[in-house]
Amino acid sequence: MQNKILLTEDQIPTQWYNIIPDLPSPPPPPLHPGTMQPIGPDDLAPLFPMALIMQEVTQDSYVDIPGGVLDVYRLWRPSPLFRAHRLEKALDTPARIYYKYEGVSPAGSHKPNTAVPQAYYNHQEGITKLTTETGAGQWGTALAFATAQYGIECEIWQVAASYRAKPYRRIMMEVYGATVHSSPSDITEYGRSLLAAYPDHPGSLGIAISEAVAAAVADPKTRYSLGSVLNHVLMHQTVIGEEALLQMAMVGETPDLLVGCTGGGSNFGGLAFPFLREKMAGRMNPVIRCVEPAACPSLTKGEYRYDFGDTAGMTPLLKMHTLGHDFIPPTIHAGGLRYHGMSPLVSHIYELGLAEAEAIPQTECFAGALTFARNEGILPAPEPTHAIAAAIREAKRCKETGEAKVILTALCGHGHLDLAAYENYLSGKMEDYELTEKELADAMSTVPVMA
Ligand SMILES: *Cc1c(COP(=O)(O)O)cnc(C)c1O
């Protein structure tokens, strides 16, 4: 009975996959909020290095992974694919469940798959410092690790609620050499205005993005780095799906269902896009499903329209599923899923009907995480508990129908620094939040109206 399906280091993918040319139509372009015209590379130059801007808009199906990135990938890639025999047995299901585990990376999640190339290209272009935001702390940890590999500085705005709840994440970022601020901070004008009105502000990813962007544009040697949402980020993550395709083939399986949690869409896209390529080519036919928190349901309840990626309205307008850029999601434990928007690429694919979505409340997610941990041993991060809960829902349906479906899920990180969330669940204090119609209407009222 094989548990781990492993590749060797020489099987690490040497190219990232760009799904855009394979789609029936391209995603709508980002717009300049001043002119409402599509933004050009020069508009983005104060924020990102040119190599990443070109990857953002490339029409090439594949982009070579530089040797200087592969060298660092080899620290943890290829990541293992597991067959969840013990979970299947506990659920008494005929389904066969596989999970691709990204918690083996130094940061403990999939995030270094893009942090490393982002730090690499910035370093190549002479940039000496990167700024970023972090919610749960996973992205900040990944970028702190990656910048240390190339000897550049890293300054991070961590969402206040998470800064208070997760001191170990901050310490980990500091171990890698990064500077970490609680956001809203007194360093940026926007942060100071929020703190003046509300000193205990819990922060949000949208606010932290505004602060990190403001700090980057103020210094010509500094650029900004985003851990999710953008096309180039999702493309870097496709190493997950490319490896998983090889690993599933090694055991002669193709998935009937692929599930991934979606915050900004990067771990989901990373696993799903290579499988979607195979599906569009008629070589397999998996159902592809995004799973999001019931408290922050951008795909299932948000509107598909142009909105800002941040709260202060400093970013280009992105066509995406959004709850409104100044929506502050409840402080659920899955901090990485507390984002008002969704990747424009995942939003577009969802609109095209190439992926479906469901929202799951956090208590069901943690119940699933306990079942998972007690059987498989790995303690999942709060974010992928959503994907696990969705896989368990499907496995239970299979038990009723007798179908032996093959389920593939992304276990995109471990939860060793999220034990407070588990304690909250174990002590019976965890609550569920469902977004009300009124909250949604209020938040959407600030979204710019397009002609
Ligand atoms: C950041 C993060 C997420 C959410 O981001 P995506 O871009 O949607 O993947 C999910 N899980 C983990 C473990 C994360 O670190």
Domain boundary among 175, 196, 226: 226
Structural domain contains residue 176: yes
Q: Which percentage of the chain shows pLDDT scores above 90?
A: 87
**DSSP symbol at 333:** S
pTM of the model: 0.96
174 and 162 together in one domain: yes
For residue 147, give its domain range: 112-226
pLDDT score of 191 = 96
* CATH for 152: 3.40.50.1100
pLDDT score of 442 = 85
Q: Which of 209, 159, 177 is CA-nearest to residue 47?
A: 209
Structural domain contains residue 46: no
Give the model confidence (pLDDT) of 234-292 as tens digits.
999 999 999 999 999 999 999 999 999 999 999 999 999 999 999 999 999 999 999 99
Of 83-97, 308-322, 394-408, the least confident:
308-322
130 and 265 together in one domain: no
Give the model confidence (pLDDT) of 316-368 as tens digits.
999 999 999 988 877 778 777 888 899 999 999 999 999 999 999 999 999 99
Ligand 1, closest atom to CA 102? 13
Give, using CA atoms, the residue closest to atom 14 of ligand 1.
Answer: 336
Q: Which amino acid makes up residue 38?
A: P
Ligand 1, closest atom to CA 135? 1
Residue 192: band (very low, low, confident or very high) from pLDDT cuts 50, 70, 90: very high
Pocket of ligand 1 from Cβ distances under 6 Å: 109, 111, 136, 138-139, 228, 261-268, 336-337, 381, 383-384, 412-413
Ligand 1 center–CA 175 separation, angstroms:
21
Domain boundary among 226, 261, 292: 226
Structural domain contains residue 50: no
b/e 250-273 (16+ beta carbons within 10 angstroms → b): eeebbbbbbbbbbbbbbbbbbbbb
pLDDT score of 246 = 98
190 and 287 together in one domain: no
245 and 390 together in one domain: yes
Give the model confidence (pLDDT) of 20-57 as tens digits.
999 999 999 999 998 999 998 999 999 999 999 999 99
Ligand 1 center–CA 412 separation, angstroms:
7
374 and 387 together in one domain: yes
**Average pLDDT in the 195-222 region?**
94
Residue 174: band (very low, low, confident or very high) from pLDDT cuts 50, 70, 90: very high
Give, using CA atoms, the residue closest to atom 7 of ligand 1.
Answer: 266
The three-point CA angle 58-269-14 to 5° equals 60
Query: For residue 421, with 0-12 CB atoms within 10 Å meaning exposed, 13-18 middle and 19 or more buried, which class applies?
Result: buried
89 and 143 together in one domain: no
CA atoms within 13 A of residue 97's CA, in its CB half-sphere:
32
Secondary structure (3-state) at 129? strand
160 and 128 together in one domain: yes
pLDDT score of 91 = 98
pLDDT score of 449 = 67
Ligand 1, closest atom to CA 228? 7
Is 413 in contact with 443 (CB distance < 8 Å)? no
* Residue among 101, 139, 412, 416 whose CB has most ligand 1 atoms within 8 A, to mutate: 412
pLDDT score of 27 = 96
Q: Which amino acid makes up residue 439?
A: E
Structural domain contains residue 22: no
Q: Tokens 């002479």 map to which residue?
A: 126
Ligand 1 center–CA 153 separation, angstroms:
23
Structural domain contains residue 391: yes
**Average pLDDT in the 184-201 region?**
95
Check the CA dihedral 312-317-321-324 and report its sign: positive
Q: Which of 278, 322, 358, 400 is CA-nearest to residue 19?
A: 278
pLDDT score of 65 = 98
Ligand 1 center–CA 370 separation, angstroms:
20
Domain boundary among 206, 226, 246: 226
pLDDT score of 451 = 47
Structural domain contains residue 15: no
262 and 218 together in one domain: no
Residue 221: band (very low, low, confident or very high) from pLDDT cuts 50, 70, 90: very high
284 and 368 together in one domain: yes
Of 112-126, 313-327, 388-402, the least confident:
313-327
Is 306 in contact with 322 (CB distance < 8 Å)? no
280 and 399 together in one domain: yes
Tokens of 97: 């469940």
Q: What does the mean pLDDT of the chain come to?
A: 95
**Average pLDDT in the 50-65 region?**
97
Structural domain contains residue 61: no
Give the model confidence (pLDDT) of 366-393 as tens digits.
999 999 999 999 999 999 999 999 999 9
Ligand 1, closest atom to CA 227? 7
Ligand 1, closest atom to CA 111? 15
The residues facing 303 across adjacent strands are 322
Total domains in the chain come to 2
385 and 245 together in one domain: yes
Structural domain contains residue 239: yes
Give the model confidence (pLDDT) of 428-439 as tens digits.
999 998 888 888
- CB neighbours of 62 closer than 8 A, spacing ≥ 6? 15, 16, 17, 18
Alpha-carbon distance values, 157 to 52, 178, 369, 382 (Å)? 22, 11, 29, 21
321 and 248 together in one domain: yes
In 74-201, which residue ranges form alpha helices assigned H by DSSP?
85-91, 112-124, 138-150, 160-165, 167-175, 189-197
